[in-house]
Structure 1
Amino acid sequence: MAQTSYQYVALVPTTSASPGLSRVEASLGLHVNRSGKVAGLAFVKSGVYFNWRGLRYDATYNALPTVWSPTGQPTPLELGTDKKTSTYAVHGINNAGLVVGASPNPNTVPTLWNASGKRTVLDQRTGRARAINDSGVVVGSVVTSGSLELSALQRATMWRNGVATDLHAQLSLGPDRSSVARSINASGAIAIQVDADAQCHVLSQGVAQPLATPPGHRCRIVRLADDGRVYGDVIDALGYQHPTVWTQGQAQPLPTEPPPPDVPGPLALMKAANASGVAVGFDQSGPVVWRNGGQSAFTTPVTGLPRDIGLPIGSIEAISDDGKLVVGLGPRGLVGWGLLLPRP
Structure 2
Amino acid sequence: MSRRQRILAGLAVVVAGLATTPGIAAADAALPTYTYLDLGTIGVPSTGEPPSSDAYALNAAGTVVGVSTIDGIFNHHAFAWTGGTMTDLGAMYAGTFGASSAAGINDAGVIVGSTHVNATDPPHAFRYAGGTLADLGTGYGAGSGSHANDVNDSGTVVGTRFERQGSPERAVVWRDGTILDLGTLGGQAGAWGTDSIAYAVNDAGHVVGGAITPSGALHAFVWKGDALRDLGTLGGRTESTYARDINDHGDVAGISQNTSGQLHATLWSGGTIRDLGTLGGNYSEARAVNDAGQVVGIARTSGGGSYTERAFLWQGGRMVDLNKRVRGLPSTVTLRSAEDVNDDGLIVGFACPVACDAGGDAARRAYLLVPTGLA
Bucket of the pairwise TM-score, normalised by the shorter protein: 0.7 to 0.9
Kindly provide the amino acid, as one letter, of the partner of residue 204 in structure 2. S
Give the distance between the partners of 1:326 and 1:175, measured in 2 at CA: 33
Match of 1:205 among 220, 225, 250: 225
Query: Taking structure 1 as reference, are residues 2 and 102 closer, same or farther at Cα in structure 2, changes over 3 Å only?
Result: farther
CA contact (8 A) 2:352 2:364 kept: yes
How far the C-alpha of 1:197 sits from its partner, in A, is 6.4
Give the distance between the partners of 2:237 and 2:189, measured in 1 at CA: 23
Note if 1:158 corresponds to 2:173.
Answer: yes
In terms of fraction of residues, the more helix-rich structure is 2
Give the distance between the partners of 1:96 and 1:157, measured in 2 at CA: 22
What's the secondary structure of 1:280's corresponding residue?
strand
In the other structure, the counterpart of 1:75 is 87
What's the secondary structure of 1:228's corresponding residue?
coil
Match of 1:225 among 247, 250, 256: 247
How far the C-alpha of 1:184 sits from its partner, in A, is 0.7
TM-score (norm 1): 0.78
CA contact (8 A) 1:219 1:232 kept: yes
Query: Taking structure 1 as reference, are residues 6 and 248 closer, same or farther at Cα in structure 2, changes over 3 Å only?
Result: closer
Give the distance between the partners of 2:230 and 2:45, measured in 1 at CA: 50
Give the distance between the partners of 1:156 and 1:314, measured in 2 at CA: 28
In the other structure, the counterpart of 1:15 is 43
Kindly provide the amino acid, as one letter, of the partner of residue 242 in structure 2. R
Give the distance between the partners of 1:2 and 1:92, measured in 2 at CA: 30
Q: Which moved more, 1:249-258 or 1:203-212?
A: 249-258
Note if 1:133 corresponds to 2:165.
Answer: no
Kindly provide the amino acid, as one letter, of the partner of residue 339 in structure 2. E
Kindly provide the amino acid, as one letter, of the partner of residue 302 in structure 1. R
Note if 1:109 corresponds to 2:109.
Answer: no
Root mean square deviation, CA, Å: 3.3
How far does the alpha carbon of each residue in 1:291-324 deviate from its partner, in whole angstroms, 9 at most, with x for none? Answer: 2443233333435x55xx5445454333223211
Match of 1:256 among 259, 275, 278: 278
How far does the alpha carbon of each residue in 1:76-117 deviate from its partner, in whole angstroms, 9 at most, with x for none? Answer: 113212443265232211222211111122222111111x43
Note if 1:296 corresponds to 2:310.
Answer: no
Note if 1:25 corresponds to 2:81.
Answer: no
Kindly provide the amino acid, as one letter, of the partner of residue 39 in structure 1. V
How far does the alpha carbon of each residue in 1:136-184 deviate from its partner, in whole angstroms, 9 at most, with x for none? Answer: 110112213x32xxx4322321112322223228x67779882221111
Match of 1:283 among 289, 300, 320: 300
Give the distance between the partners of 1:100 and 1:64, measured in 2 at CA: 13
CA contact (8 A) 2:80 2:87 kept: yes
Number of residues paired by the alignment?
A: 313
Query: Taking structure 1 as reference, are residues 183 and 4 closer, same or farther at Cα in structure 2, changes over 3 Å only?
Result: closer
In the other structure, the counterpart of 2:76 is 63
Give the distance between the partners of 1:237 and 1:45, measured in 2 at CA: 48
Q: Which moved more, 1:247-256 or 1:97-106?
A: 247-256
Query: Taking structure 1 as reference, are residues 197 and 339 closer, same or farther at Cα in structure 2, changes over 3 Å only?
Result: farther
Kindly provide the amino acid, as one letter, of the partner of residue 104 in structure 1. H
What's the secondary structure of 1:321's corresponding residue?
coil
In the other structure, the counterpart of 2:197 is 180
How far does the alpha carbon of each residue in 1:240-286 deviate from its partner, in whole angstroms, 9 at most, with x for none? Answer: 42111123564211132333xxxxxx143334333443111233174
Note if 1:342 corresponds to 2:371.
Answer: yes
Kindly provide the amino acid, as one letter, of the partner of residue 127 in structure 1. S
Q: Which moved more, 1:2-11 or 1:280-289?
A: 2-11
Kindly provide the amino acid, as one letter, of the partner of residue 192 in structure 1. G
In the other structure, the counterpart of 1:55 is none
Note if 1:273 corresponds to 2:289.
Answer: yes
Which runs of no fewer than 5 residues in structure 1 stay unpaired? 48-60, 260-265
TM-score (norm 2): 0.72
Which runs of no fewer than 5 residues in structure 2 stay unpaired? 1-28, 303-309
What's the secondary structure of 1:77's corresponding residue?
strand
Give the distance between the partners of 2:179 and 2:333, measured in 1 at CA: 46
Give the distance between the partners of 2:37 and 2:255, measured in 1 at CA: 29
Match of 1:119 among 122, 133, 151: 133
CA contact (8 A) 1:226 1:276 kept: no
**What fraction of aligned residue pairs are identical, expressed as a percent?**
24
CA contact (8 A) 1:222 1:270 kept: yes
Note if 1:100 corresponds to 2:101.
Answer: no
In the other structure, the counterpart of 1:234 is 256
